Structure 1
Amino acid sequence: MPLIRVGGELAYATATPLHAEVDRVLADAPRALVLDFADLTFIDSTGLAVIVHAWREGQSVGTTLRLRAVPRFLTSILDITGVAALVGRPLPATRAALGPDSARSAATA
């Protein structure tokens, strides 16, 4: 199961690398894609749009989007905007579940 770690600020100026990595991973149509937000410090509407894009594109290829280690501020934003209902409940913050070799980093700062 592919894992993309998202860190730093996910905003207008930094969202492009994550968008590209999501598209690259989804091209292989995995069963699931995990976005790990353990190191996320800020998100704006563009960053939120990348999450929605990942969900929508995942749906089109049969990939389930999972969110992991979601900070409290992002949980609030996902709930307020209704995005939480699209992606379901976040996964626990355990990085060991997937192993270090399955991780791709899309740290934005």
Structure 2
Amino acid sequence: MQIEKLKDDQATTLKITGEIDLHASPALRAELRDCASDKAPVLLIDFTDVEYIDSSGLATFIEYVRESSSFGGKIALFGLKKKVRTIFDLVRLNELFTISDTREAALAALASK
């Protein structure tokens, strides 16, 4: 897994490439903790190049939601492939996370909340 961090005046975006699994979760956790430490008001996760996510990856994102709640941070996911989106839907995490098709749709969805 690779993570590229991009910042602009609208959001911090983490572009993830590869598989988010037990071996990759510690690196993802460290990156998300950095975002929480920076108190990123809006965090977007680009899943365009993510092929797979397991329960450890899901747990890592849930941890971020808990950490970011103290400063009102918002998170949205976008670009999920069908099989990755199905995993979020099966465990009903689509109710916790804003999930959109594009970056622009994710920003708009967060702005409307």
Q: TM (normalized to structure 1)?
A: 0.78
- Give the drift of 1:94: 4.7
**Alignment RMSD, CA only?**
2.0
Q: Which is worse superposed, 50-59 or 31-40?
A: 50-59
Counterpart in the other structure of 1:2 = 12
> Which is bigger in relative contact order (C-alpha 8 A, separation at least 6)?
1
Runs of at least 4 residues off by over 4 Å: none
CA offsets 1:45-99 (integer angstroms, 9 cap, x no match): 10111121122222222100110111111211111111110113x233358xx9x
Report sequence identity in percent.
Answer: 26
Contact 1:38–1:93 (8 Å) recurs in 2: no
Q: How does 1:14-93 map to 2 (within 5 A)?
A: 14-88=24-98, 90-93=99-102
CA offsets 1:8-65 (integer angstroms, 9 cap, x no match): 1100011111110010011121221011111101111101111211222222221001
Q: Which SS does the other structure have where 1:61 is aligned?
A: coil
Distance in 1, Cα, partners of 2:101 & 2:56? 25
Unaligned runs of 5+ in 1: 99-109
Paired residue type of 1:8: G
Distance in 2, Cα, partners of 1:17 & 1:93? 24
Alignment size in residue pairs: 96
Q: Which has the higher strand share?
A: 2
